Amino acid sequence: MLEHPSPLITKPNQVRIRTLDVGICGTDREICTFVYGAPPSGSEYLVLGHEALGQVVEVGSGVSRFKPGDFVVPSVRRPCPDLSCVPCRQDRQDFCSTWTFTERGINQYHGYMTEYFVDEEKYLTFVPPELRDVAVLVEPLTVAEKGLAQVWKTQQRLPWGSAKPGEPRGKGLNAVVLGAGPVGILGAMALVVNGFKTYVYSRSKKPNPKAALVESFGVEYISSEEVSVEQLAEKVGSIDLIYEAVGVPGITFDVMRALGINGVYVMTGIPAPKSPIPVAASQIMRNIVLKNQAIVGTVNADAEAFSSAIADLGAFNKRWPTALRQVISSRSRLDNYQDLLVGKATGIKNVIAFD
């Protein structure tokens, strides 16, 4: 923990924000073991924190969408400077084609684990006051939102599901979420809201708190210690969508064998580099080709994914207010940073509260 200069507005399009909550995730913990992330060039350190909620305290003269008092969440990635990068020039730095983007709190740009931060208006999303206590979950939820946006685009390749106009698009389809961490649980909520019959496949046997939590919002929890991948496929029927939120390569490729006909597999995990492992390559390859499967990775999120995350968080808040609040397993002061960042990982989403 150190003293960091308080940032000031230097451009008309900037907003100065008082930090309220910052979520801790696996990425932060990896940065703290020095296997991931980098400080800004010329800096001896990187300010952590990429999952934030704040309150506007001051706006530059050119800012029109926000006023002091508004609650906002910032996005993470900032565009590369290369004029030939088509995605970055169109505000789609989540698809940066030069790989020279920066990420706040992760990659060459200070994050939000400070009492105040400054950012440009276009990187902020408005948070309705009724979501104040849960809006720190917006950034991890954008992982699912961008993943789903890609699912809809990918599956335009065929007539998919049985939803009629006006019905949730996932109607008639089965989804399996791998992992019951924050990205998995929030992803499962988003899949239910989108009409999928949703299962969470995770290690621990039932009963356990995460199983109880996901079952409280209409998801069936299946333990991989009790149900093999073959049995999972039999139980679910056709697995139309797999949403990987576990980050473990062995499990990820093992479950890939169970993906159904015309299915889509979304990967969100970023494992640290490790030695190669054996996978059922011929079975997987036969399936991908013969069953028309698609595999997509999803990283970071654009402004639209942030807006959908706010909308979905509002829907979760109406349908499952208690379950939603249980995703935040602890709120502590900054003094507790060591436990949260380098101690034993416990709970679901741990949050540092600044106010």
The contact set with ligand BGC (CB under 6 A) reads 25, 27, 50, 76-77, 103, 106, 139, 270, 299-300
CA–CA gap between residue 76 and residue 305 (Å, rounded): 12
The CB density around residue 346, as the number of other CB atoms within 10 Å, is 10
Is 176 in contact with 241 (CB distance < 8 Å)?
A: yes
Smallest gap, in angstroms, from Cβ of residue 272 to ligand BGC? 12
106 interacts with, out of ligand BGC, Zn ion, none, CB within 5 to 8 A per kind: ligand BGC
299 interacts with, out of Zn ion, ligand BGC, none, CB within 5 to 8 A per kind: ligand BGC
Smallest gap, in angstroms, from Cβ of residue 97 to ligand BGC? 15
Between residues 27 and 114, which has the closer beta carbon with respect to Zn ion?
27
Tokens standing for residue 337: 């940073």
25 binds Zn ion (CB under 5 A): yes
Q: What is the DSSP track for 98-147?
A: SS--EEETTBEE--S-SSEEEEEGGGEEEE-GGGTTTGGGHHHHHHHHHH
CA–CA gap between residue 57 and residue 55 (Å, rounded): 6
Smallest gap, in angstroms, from Cβ of residue 240 to Zn ion? 27
127 interacts with, out of Zn ion, ligand BGC, none, CB within 5 to 8 A per kind: none
103 interacts with, out of Zn ion, ligand BGC, none, CB within 5 to 8 A per kind: ligand BGC
CA–CA gap between residue 187 and residue 192 (Å, rounded): 9
Between residues 27 and 350, which has the closer beta carbon with respect to Zn ion?
27
107 binds Zn ion (CB under 5 A): no
Smallest gap, in angstroms, from Cβ of residue 32 to ligand BGC? 13
Stretch that binds Zn ion, among 26-34, 83-91, 118-126, 331-339 (CB under 5 A): 26-34
CA–CA gap between residue 138 and residue 142 (Å, rounded): 6
If phi > 0 it is left, if psi is from -120 to 50 it is alpha, else beta; for residue 195 that is: left
Q: Which residues bind Zn ion (CB under 5 A)?
A: 25, 27
